[in-house]
């Protein structure tokens, strides 16, 4: 969708649109193929063809190609094969993080770091864009930038873990995913909804009603409340 919007903007200003259209077609084909692989319980296409470090490099390379945003993958330590489910989880995390950077962060640079330590493997995605700052906010309420009527107490948006990592509440994350849900966004919604408590579902239903009138998720959320 973002690529098609870029093509539309170029068309309106008289700039060439071929590149945007080609990228949109490639993205649509890849998403369709990936959806089929999920349904058929196959490994993600990037991991079926290459090791995890190269799969992550492919992701950042495509982001840079399609957006012009400087993006790179850095690998530290000695790469080694990991259990399939671990590699798939790391790839999914990288895909989701880069999708959020593309859609929301307004960043000027992003770096993905895959670190092979002695007894653990970590994946860090760092960008210099905007995001949640739960510690330095000057107000006690968070306001949804896409629709200022949607807000909630800051302490309900997320928490700081024992490791100092800010974690966004799942119902808040679903609100961001609701604008133009992809296959994996719908899958996340299906998985998360049954685990939301009554207060979280009530807030999400109200937020969807205000920010995304008529959204199909709203009926599901209110149905779960009944």
Which residues span the domain enclosing 96? 47-131
**pLDDT over threshold 90, residue 10:** no
Got the DSSP string for 61-102? HHHHHHH---EEEEEES------HHHHHHHHHHHHHHHHHII
pLDDT at residue 54 in the model: 93
Same domain, 157 and 210: yes
pLDDT at residue 182 in the model: 82
Same domain, 59 and 125: yes
- DSSP state letter for 14: T
* Chosen domain end from 95, 111, 131: 131
**pLDDT over threshold 80, residue 98:** yes
Residue pointed to by tokens 């490639």? 26
Same domain, 97 and 155: no
Letter string b/e over residues 183-212, b meaning 16 or more CB atoms within 10 A of that residue's CB: ebbeebbeebbeebeeebbebbbbbbeebb
pLDDT at residue 42 in the model: 44
Number of domains forming the structure of the chain:
3
Q: What is the mean pLDDT of the chain?
A: 77
pLDDT at residue 95 in the model: 86
Same domain, 137 and 108: no
Query: For 20-65, what is each residue's pLDDT tens digit?
Result: 556 655 666 666 555 544 443 445 677 778 899 999 999 999 889 8
Q: What pLDDT band is residue 103 in, cutting at 50, 70 and 90?
A: confident
Same domain, 112 and 163: no
- CATH, residue 57: 3.30.565.10
Same domain, 144 and 224: yes
Same domain, 112 and 88: yes
pLDDT at residue 2 in the model: 44
Cα 25–chain centre separation: 20
Query: For 115-135, what is each residue's pLDDT tens digit?
Result: 998 888 998 888 887 555 444
Same domain, 123 and 157: no
Same domain, 11 and 68: no
* Chosen domain end from 66, 100, 131: 131
Q: What pLDDT band is residue 184 in, cutting at 50, 70 and 90?
A: confident
Same domain, 153 and 205: yes
């Amino acid at each position: 969708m973002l690529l098609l919007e870029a093509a539309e903007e170029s068309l309106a200003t008289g700039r060439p649109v071929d590149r945007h259209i080609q990228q949109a077609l490639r993205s649509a084909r890849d998403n369709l193929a990936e959806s089929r692989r999920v349904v058929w319980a196959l490994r993600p296409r990037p991991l079926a063809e290459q090791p995890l470090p190269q799969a992550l490099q492919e992701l950042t390379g495509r982001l840079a190609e399609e957006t012009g945003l400087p993006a790179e993958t850095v690998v530290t330590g000695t790469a080694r094969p990991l259990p399939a489910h671990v590699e798939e989880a790391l790839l999914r995390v990288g895909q989701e993080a880069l999708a959020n950077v593309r859609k929301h962060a307004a960043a000027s640079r992003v770096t993905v770091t895959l670190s092979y330590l002695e007894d653990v493997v970590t994946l860090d995605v760092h960008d210099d864009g905007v995001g949640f700052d739960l510690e330095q906010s000057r107000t006690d309420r968070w306001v949804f930038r896409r629709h200022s009527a949607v807000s909630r107490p800051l302490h309900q948006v997320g928490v700081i873990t024992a490791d100092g990592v800010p974690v966004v509440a799942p119902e808040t994350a679903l609100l961001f995913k609701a604008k133009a849900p992809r296959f994996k966004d719908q899958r996340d919604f299906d998985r998360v909804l049954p685990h939301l408590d009554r207060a979280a579902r009530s807030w999400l239903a109200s937020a969807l009603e205000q920010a995304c009138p008529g959204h199909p998720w709203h009926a599901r959320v209110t149905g779960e409340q009944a």
